[in-house]
Structure 1
């Protein structure tokens, strides 16, 4: 076997194509767009290169056939905030061959060790953890956009190599045909009418204002969490630009108290239901197909990707009010029959309780693993978020 760094266009194509080979004829797999994956490794597109570095490799057999891939990265804003300096590996794909898998893991580990790392998380993303983060271990169903899908045998590869579960990630599904829980509806109505509180949804015509509101809430809600790093405003602007024509304005909600933003929820149509038909390619004809399928209202599921409530307002029923308003907006669009609430970590029992209270049923479980290079160092799982530090959140560490 031969492992080589991805440096030229031919190797970049092979890095992408191995996923198409491994998941060929798998009806649950929606191939991410080539441009999206390529952008993660492009310093011009991925802001994480401002405070980190990334590399990727492909693995070939004796005949030159690609049989696996892996990437490694260091986010210097977080790497040195753990007990052991920690990098990451991700975008792992491999045929069912333990020797091949271990060679890929070894390659990522050695690259990280050379740069002062003492541990490796995986499979993770060189970016925010709402996309391409974690290994699917339960719920081998069609995944929502950004949620990883993988072969079941990958779990044995990670665990036999020595990775241990750092935290578990749960995705819940809500059947929109069922009524909104009455108790939450009453709380929502009460807070919606309370003087000083206002709720409104996103509008593209005033997108910069809402982007600034997201930044303000995000920084306030997450600043007490371990390993907090401010969000890059350009990343939010990019999502807004690229999402025009796809995002539903009334699936993104904000709460205000006396004019100050105190919460936001973001739900996105699950475009995987369209991308599944494109095999990762967005050429001219697939762009036409994409627009046609959008107009045909092919998408029936939406995914709540991130939410945040400023800690001092978390006991006011803000979550109930936004869920209630979002529920009404979703039900008004008849094609949407399901909402995915993803993902929430096992370290955040408050958010798990909210998901279950609004009718969510746990459908999928992903693991984020950690591998300590010194095998004699005691392993610690991620800590439960203390109650006083819980700015309600999902899809964030």
Structure 2
């Protein structure tokens, strides 16, 4: 007879530590899982550390069998998400769960049922999941691309979870794609003409961010983002607290040459953020920065003895053009000029051979068209499901 599985709230510091530690055991034999830095993972789920909690209510759960943690899940309501239109994924009766990890389908079923029970008690009638915790963090369940590691700020899931989630009554609502591209190859003549036109336009200028003023630069970028993405499905505005939180988290890992801001008549109107694949640099740290791994990671980020950091891969997690310029010829000039300059710098300055773009919504025709134009290919798909409860 199987031992009883107990699902209980995870409210203490020790519980949150167990919540973070579980994937290290479950994925220890998966070569494509990258251990997160435990301090960062703990901060994401801790009130007072992650400003997501300022506009959300969150309940974490642990599954235990014979005293051992065998599963985890979060249930949460984001008030900003609920304030978005229903057709964009929001609505006053919507809620989410995330961070699903479990040893077996039986445990996953019990965890999902417990998350739904909590959400129903909070007035939720429609669940969109998984979202861990914010749409800006790790949305969606990996359903394609389990055979290679995720890049920085992207998740990895057990391939069995797809059947388990669908078996619990969830149906697809939206797919998010990441696109892979070889950045050693120059773009074609047609794109080069568009890029040349962008450089010749006297009203357009491009600059790289100033890391010494990174808080100010991050605020500019995220202001453009809130405007540029406001019509997208699943969009939740980023708050000032989250802007500061994100800036602080990104500052140690950004390379100034790889984040660009485009200005039109002196006004910031577009940006492109490219990050080195920190997963590549931290994969062997086993999630711990102390006592000595902190120095090791800084050494790698700063390029060691050469002083020139190297990375095989880079990721473009965010880019955007203000809404007033979208669907214009100028938008194409802005986007492709930033892409080309970043492609050159990532390869020549940092030794990167490939880039990953996204995530991008499956029905975001503009961004998917850009990815196809530069000959990128879909390499991972993350799925967000929904269920009426």
TM-score normalised by length of structure 1? 0.88
Residues 292, 211 of structure 1: alpha-carbon distance in 2 compared, 3 angstrom cutoff:
closer
Quick check: 1:291 aligned with 2:298? yes
SS in 1 for 2:292: helix
**In 2, are the aligned partners of 1:273 and 1:298 still within 8 Å (CA)?**
no
SS in 2 for 1:305: strand
**In 2, are the aligned partners of 1:84 and 1:119 still within 8 Å (CA)?**
no
Residues 225, 340 of structure 1: alpha-carbon distance in 2 compared, 3 angstrom cutoff:
closer
Report the CA distance between 1:293 and its aligned residue. 3.1
Quick check: 1:310 aligned with 2:322? yes
Report the CA distance between 1:359 and its aligned residue. 2.1
Report the CA distance between 1:261 and its aligned residue. 1.1
Quick check: 1:29 aligned with 2:29? no
Paired with 1:165 and 1:301, the residues of 2 have a C-alpha distance of: 30
Paired with 2:263 and 2:251, the residues of 1 have a C-alpha distance of: 24
Report the CA distance between 1:50 and its aligned residue. 1.5
Report the CA distance between 1:229 and its aligned residue. 4.1
Residues 211, 146 of structure 1: alpha-carbon distance in 2 compared, 3 angstrom cutoff:
closer
Report the CA distance between 1:34 and its aligned residue. 1.6
Unaligned runs of 5+ in 2: none
Report Cα offsets for 1:320-375 as digits up to 9, x if no partner: 111112112212224211111010011212111101111211111110111111xx
Report the CA distance between 1:13 and its aligned residue. 2.4
**In 2, are the aligned partners of 1:191 and 1:321 still within 8 Å (CA)?**
yes
Residues 59, 305 of structure 1: alpha-carbon distance in 2 compared, 3 angstrom cutoff:
same
Q: What are the within-5 Å matches in structure 2 for residues 86-101 of structure 1?
A: 86-95=94-103, 97-101=104-108
Residues 269, 130 of structure 1: alpha-carbon distance in 2 compared, 3 angstrom cutoff:
farther
**In 2, are the aligned partners of 1:135 and 1:155 still within 8 Å (CA)?**
yes
Show the counterpart of 1:53.
57
SS in 2 for 1:277: helix
**In 1, are the aligned partners of 2:281 and 2:297 still within 8 Å (CA)?**
yes
Paired with 2:158 and 2:136, the residues of 1 have a C-alpha distance of: 20
Report the CA distance between 1:288 and its aligned residue. 2.1
Show the counterpart of 2:253.
246
Report Cα offsets for 1:91-113 as digits up to 9, x if no partner: 11011x22211100000001010
TM-score normalised by length of structure 2? 0.90
Report the CA distance between 1:166 and its aligned residue. 1.0
Residues 330, 243 of structure 1: alpha-carbon distance in 2 compared, 3 angstrom cutoff:
same
Paired with 2:145 and 2:24, the residues of 1 have a C-alpha distance of: 21
Show the counterpart of 1:391.
none
Show the counterpart of 2:279.
272
Paired with 1:281 and 1:6, the residues of 2 have a C-alpha distance of: 22
SS in 1 for 2:95: strand
Unaligned runs of 5+ in 1: 374-397
Report Cα offsets for 1:138-183 as digits up to 9, x if no partner: 1111001121101100001000111111100111111122112332
**In 2, are the aligned partners of 1:3 and 1:58 still within 8 Å (CA)?**
yes
Paired with 2:19 and 2:223, the residues of 1 have a C-alpha distance of: 38
Q: Which moved more, 1:255-264 or 1:332-341?
A: 332-341
Show the counterpart of 2:379.
363
Report Cα offsets for 1:181-208 as digits up to 9, x if no partner: 3321210111121121111111113334
Q: What RMSD in Å do the two structures reach over aligned CA positions?
A: 1.8
**In 2, are the aligned partners of 1:130 and 1:305 still within 8 Å (CA)?**
no
* Alignment size in residue pairs: 370
Report Cα offsets for 1:66-102 as digits up to 9, x if no partner: 211101111011225435611111111011x222111
**In 2, are the aligned partners of 1:80 and 1:86 still within 8 Å (CA)?**
no
Show the counterpart of 2:142.
136
